[in-house]
Amino acid sequence: MTERFDGRVAIVTGAAGGMGRAIATRFAAEGAAVLLADRAAAGAEAAEAICADGGWAVFEQVDVADAADVSRMVARAMTELGGLHCAVNAAAIEGESGPLADLEDEEFDRIMAVNVRSVFLCMKHELRAMRAAGAGGAIVNIASTNSYRPQPRQAAYTASKHAVLGLTRAAAIDYARHEIRINAICPGAIDTPMLRDAISRRGGDESAVLDRLTLGGRFGQPDEIAAAALWLCSDEASFTIGHALAVDGGYLAR
């Protein structure tokens, strides 16, 4: 591994598993000090694994839809890790199994809180910290191919991921002059517990899902999202601002 992020501090939300854990692990392997944030206590084990491999990581148990929790998360990165240079807001949920008219109000509110309110709150506090430090920075929000092409029986999730792109682009315009670059990744069918749960819940067949959602005949891997996230946070992407990068096995090209 290179040391592209040596001396830098990164926050990754949704870091207990899936794409978030892969991103946090990759940041640490490339030299960053990483704050892993998640509501699930399994994030502590993820941080311990990073440290066991020689990286520098801490875990903060956070409800990303709670303003006080998010403020505390960013403050800890600033004080304990020494700053904030990169942030990847990856926390998200998906739990629908029916059309919009059958969606419970509470489920809609829950999805919007975790997927949209959290991105707003995280960016709000991350941007304040980066702006105050005056050294620029990079933020990546995890959106979805649903941001462009809705899937059946995913009205709330689709709406939430459209909103993530809107927040990303609006903030990118506002903060480019502060040398803070804000971009998004739109993952396709990535082999995570959330994807496997969605397939099971909807009674889907894996081969049919692969045929419908990819051109490459396989699911993407979390580390492929990590590679994209780290590139967007790196100096190699210094002229990339307000972009939504699809990592989707060709799905949106179809």
Output 156-159 pairs: Cβ under 8 A, ≥24 positions apart: 156/96, 156/100, 156/103, 156/107, 156/108, 156/111, 156/112, 157/94, 157/96, 157/111, 157/115, 159/112
Q: Where does the pLDDT of residue 207 fall: very low under 50, low under 70, confident under 90, or very high at 90 and above?
A: confident
The CATH architecture of the domain made up of 9-253 is 3-Layer(aba) Sandwich (3.40)
- 224 vs 195: which has the higher pLDDT: 224
Q: Where does the pLDDT of residue 216 fall: very low under 50, low under 70, confident under 90, or very high at 90 and above?
A: confident
Contact 27, 50 (CB under 8 A): no
* Residue 244 in this model has a pLDDT that exceeds 60: yes
pLDDT tens by residue, 60-86: 999 999 999 999 999 999 999 999 999
| Separation of alpha carbons 203 and 98, rounded Å | 12
Q: What pLDDT, on a 0 to 100 scale, did the predictor assign at position 206?
A: 85
Q: What pLDDT, on a 0 to 100 scale, did the predictor assign at position 195?
A: 86
Sign of CA dihedral 238, 88, 142, 214: positive
Domain-wise residue ranges, the chain: 9-253
Catalytic residue, chosen from 148, 157, 175, 251, is 157
Burial class (CB in 10 A: 0-12, 13-18, 19+), 132: exposed
Q: Which two tokens stand for residue 115?
A: 């997927």
Nearest to 60 by CA among 78, 47, 79: 47
Q: Where does the pLDDT of residue 2 fall: very low under 50, low under 70, confident under 90, or very high at 90 and above?
A: low
Q: Which two tokens stand for residue 185?
A: 């990744």
User: Is residue 37 within a helix (H) or strand (E), and if so which, with residue range?
Assistant: strand 33-38
What is the Cα 31 distance to its own chain's centre?
A: 19
Q: Where does the pLDDT of residue 1 fall: very low under 50, low under 70, confident under 90, or very high at 90 and above?
A: low
**Known catalytic membership, residue 157:** yes
Mean of the pLDDT values across residues 192-221?
86
Strand partners of residue 37:
13, 60
Q: What pLDDT, on a 0 to 100 scale, did the predictor assign at position 208?
A: 87
Around Cβ 137, how many Cβ atoms within 10 Å?
Answer: 25
Buried residues in 202-218 as b, exposed as e (16+ CB within 10 A) = eeeeeeebbeebbeeee
Contact 17, 40 (CB under 8 A): yes
pLDDT tens by residue, 14-35: 999 999 999 999 999 999 999 9
Determine the 3-state secondary structure of 158 from DSSP.
Answer: helix
| Separation of alpha carbons 117 and 107, rounded Å | 14
